[in-house]
């Protein structure tokens, strides 16, 4: 077994792929958790006075949850492709690490943006309901940042 290892497919090759799968879900969950918690405090503060707006203001939480699903998708894709070292080249490991980091850190950034913009957005919507459309647009642009990372990650994975 050991003599089949080559320079292009060493025994530590899957390490990079596994780290890619782990970082994809870790960092995007970190971003989603921050987005959920930060906008959740905003929802809790504003729904004391305007409980009928809760359904509108859950949207930042839903969008933060979607960030974590991006990371989950890439993580599952990478894990389904990791095999024993001689058939798993180092090149593939690097690609998988890059895919995981791409979606992970984009998700982290998008989650931060959703959290901060969602917190201020739901507090503002409680006082001026016409702000709602603006909040949705800002949240969509924040969430698209995570989607860009997902696109790059799928492109890297498919290489």
Partner 1 sequence: MEPQLSTFSTILAYSIFIIASPIATFFVTKFFFFEGLLGVSSTGANIWSAVMAVVMLHIAMGLYIYRAYFEAERVKPEKVD
Residues of this chain, 4-43, that bind partner 1 according to CB under 8 A: none
Stretch that binds partner 1, among 15-23, 38-46, 101-109, 147-155 (CB under 8 A): 147-155
Q: Output the CA–CA distances (angstroms, integers) from residue 44 to 37, 60, 63, 134, 151, in the order listed.
A: 10, 13, 17, 20, 34
Both tokens of 154, joined, read 């799928």
Nearer to partner 1, 11 or 62 (CB): 62
CA triplet 117, 107, 64: central angle to 5 degrees? Answer: 50
Both tokens of 143, joined, read 């969430």
Instruction: Report the residue from 94, 112, 132, 148 that binds partner 1 according to the rule CB under 8 A.
Output: 132
Q: Kindly state whether residue 89 participates in binding partner 1, applying the rule CB under 8 A.
A: no
Nearer to partner 1, 5 or 148 (CB): 148
Q: How many CA atoms lie within 13 A of 44 on its CB side?
A: 6
Least CB distance to partner 1 at residue 51 (A): 8
């Amino acid at each position: 077994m050991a003599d089949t290892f080559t320079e292009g497919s060493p025994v530590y090759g899957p390490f990079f792929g596994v780290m890619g799968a782990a970082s994809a879900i870790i960092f995007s969950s970190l971003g989603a958790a921050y987005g959920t918690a930060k906008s959740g405090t905003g929802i809790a503060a504003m729904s004391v006075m305007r409980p009928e707006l809760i359904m509108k203001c859950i949207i930042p939480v839903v969008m933060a949850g979607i960030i974590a699903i991006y990371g989950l998708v890439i993580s599952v894709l990478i894990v389904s492709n990791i095999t024993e070292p001689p058939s798993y080249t180092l090149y593939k490991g690097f690609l998988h690490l890059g895919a995981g980091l791409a979606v992970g850190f984009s998700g982290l950034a998008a989650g931060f943006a959703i959290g901060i913009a969602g917190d201020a957005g739901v507090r503002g919507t409680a006082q001026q309901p016409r702000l709602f459309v603006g909040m949705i647009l800002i949240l969509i642009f924040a969430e698209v940042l995570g989607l860009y990372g997902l696109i790059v990650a799928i492109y890297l994975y498919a290489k």
